[in-house]
Amino acid sequence: MFMLASFLNIIIGTSMAGIGVIIALVAGYDGTAGVVTGAAAGFVLSLPVTWLVLRQLMKLGAVQKN
């Protein structure tokens, strides 16, 4: 289960970090600090999203507990 959570976190974290960067750029924060902050915020917010996705997969029976 840890391997699946790690894989999901890589995919979801990258996607949400990219979304954070896009939000920062659209909001006008085009400096280094704004882009890095947006990426970091997106990655941090991806942790609970990963947990929710993994929990839903477990509820549907797609993942077995070890």
Please give the pLDDT value at position 32: 95
> Does residue 66 register a pLDDT over 70?
no
What mean pLDDT is predicted for residues 13-23? 96
Q: How far apart (Å, rounded) are the C-alpha atoms in residues 49 and 13?
A: 9
Distance between CA 34 and CA 39 in Å, rounded?
Answer: 9
| pTM summary value | 0.83
